[in-house]
Amino acid sequence: MASQPVVNPASRSDPPVWLRWTAMLFLALAMFGNYYIYDSLSPVADLLKSQLGFSDAQIGLLNTFYSVASIIFLLLGVFLIDRLGIRNGILLFTVTALAGSFVMAIGGSFAVMGVGRGLFGLGAEAMIAAITAAMAKWFRGKELGFALGLNVTAARLGSGLAFRSTGWDSLYETWQGPLLLAAGIGLTCLIGALVYWILESGAEKSYRLGKADQADRLILSETLKFKRSYWYVVALCATFYSAIFPFQTFMVKFLMETHGMERAAAGAMGSWLPFISLIFTPIFGLASDWFGKRSSMMIFGSILLLPVYLTLVYTPITPYVPIVMLGIAYALIPAVMWPSVAYVVKESRLGTAYALMTLIQQLGVALFNYLIGKANDFQLAGPDNPGGYGLGMWLLSMLGFLGLFFSLQLRRTEAGPEGHGLDTIRAGAPKAPDDSEPADS
């Protein structure tokens, strides 16, 4: 029997447009389910306390376990992506995350739910990294920025709808119903991963796919070569996320117990945070591309962050005002700070730079999830003592002051001889050559 001719991959054509965007659609579907599961915890926080006897510190620890699991992935899991390949990695990580969500839903004890949340965190963060690499495989040299933006949109929609589920009153009669719904909606992750696996398997046989980005890998020896601007950017990312995500953990419970809101209203208000971020992220991204002024934009965000939490707990101002301010501040990190890393670090070290930034962010979020819960317990925060939330709100407000300090330091550094052009570089300007960065050694 005559052997089949070997087709040179370089001679193949690119995938047709419809196939590329179909792949993106199912990757976005997986991201939607991922973020829905993550934010399904906040709307049941009060039920975990009243029906299972959890303390606020334990509720905070559930998200701390998620962050710790993501750190484990950063240190070890990227090698799995290299070994398994993109499509196999996405499928494996999705199954892991989905299993964690079902363990959470059938739990009932803190230990079981902690294991479930950690398992979900391990799979979810790995899945996000693999999906980002997959997007580069299909869209490099094409509409990569737009495709990644749509992916973030799908994630924010998942978060927002998790909060909006509070409008289904009968679902929230027990703590278990919303978590079972989240696990069920999480099946969209599996559908997306399975269809993507099929699409990529078929496309590799017929079309020329781009080379996927290597997953961000932490190389400790390279971290000593980063300049001050990088560390200020990392500090800002960690500060903002540590101020926002731990508050999200308790947000619905807080609004119900301090402002007397019904669960549906509190959840609807909570959904404003991801939805406002969804709107303002591309706006801030365009503004930084057109005008530069990145450190100045972070000063603006820090000033927005400063009064948010104290306004929520000490003033009669409607919570809509500070929540909108928080959503705007939330949008600045993916729009302004994440892209800034590419300007302050050599291209050859970007993988380490992003991995280290994510690790430090997760450390901050892990710590403050526990601290805010512990502060609430210490002050006996609850519907009979809404002022007990004050200590936690002061801790979060302190992060706003730190954000202002780091953003001022970033602007000062960028205005000096070690600057990289964060406040001057605009869209269309050529990026500095890799070796033009101030000396690393």
**61 or 426: which leads in pLDDT:** 61
pLDDT in tens, 75-104: 776 666 667 778 888 899 999 999 999 999
Residue type, 103: V
Q: Are 165 and 171 in contact (CB under 8 A)?
A: yes
Using DSSP, state whether 60 is helix, strand or coil: helix
Residue 4 counted as domain residue: no
Domain boundary among 189, 215, 241: 215
pLDDT in tens, 63-79: 999 999 988 877 776 66
* Same domain (yes/no): 107, 157: yes
* Same domain (yes/no): 96, 114: yes
Residue 438 counted as domain residue: no
Domain boundary among 215, 240, 273: 215
Structural tokens at position 394: 């002061």
- pLDDT band (50, 70, 90) for residue 434: very low
* Same domain (yes/no): 308, 257: yes
pLDDT in tens, 248-284: 999 999 999 999 999 999 999 999 999 998 888 888 8
pLDDT of residue 427: 60
How far does CA 327 lie from the centroid of its chain?
A: 14
As a whole number, mean pLDDT of residues 380-396 equals 94
Residue 435 counted as domain residue: no
Count: domains in the chain: 2
pLDDT of residue 289: 80
* Same domain (yes/no): 314, 413: yes
Alpha-carbon distances, residue 301 vs 185, 186, 363 (angstroms): 33, 33, 22
Of 19, 18, 29, nearest in space to 194 by CA: 29
- Angstrom distance (rounded) from CA 323 to CA 313: 12
Domain boundary among 192, 215, 238: 215
As a whole number, mean pLDDT of residues 204-216 equals 64
* Same domain (yes/no): 133, 248: no
Range of the domain at 172: 15-215
Q: What is the CATH number of the domain that holds 250?
A: 1.20.1250.20
* Same domain (yes/no): 120, 146: yes
Residue 439 pLDDT > 90: no
Structural tokens at position 33: 């389910």
- pLDDT band (50, 70, 90) for residue 432: very low
* Same domain (yes/no): 250, 397: yes
Q: Concatenated DSSP letters for 411-422?
A: HHHHTSTT--ST
Residue 8 counted as domain residue: no
* Same domain (yes/no): 247, 171: no
Give the number of residues written for the chain. Answer: 441
- pLDDT band (50, 70, 90) for residue 144: low
* Same domain (yes/no): 167, 226: no
* Same domain (yes/no): 357, 418: yes
For a pLDDT cut of 70, what percent of the chain falls above it?
A: 87
pLDDT of residue 215: 54
Beta bridge partners of 385: 382
φ, ψ of residue 175 to 5 degrees: the values are -70, -25
Structural tokens at position 181: 């719904």
* Same domain (yes/no): 201, 53: yes
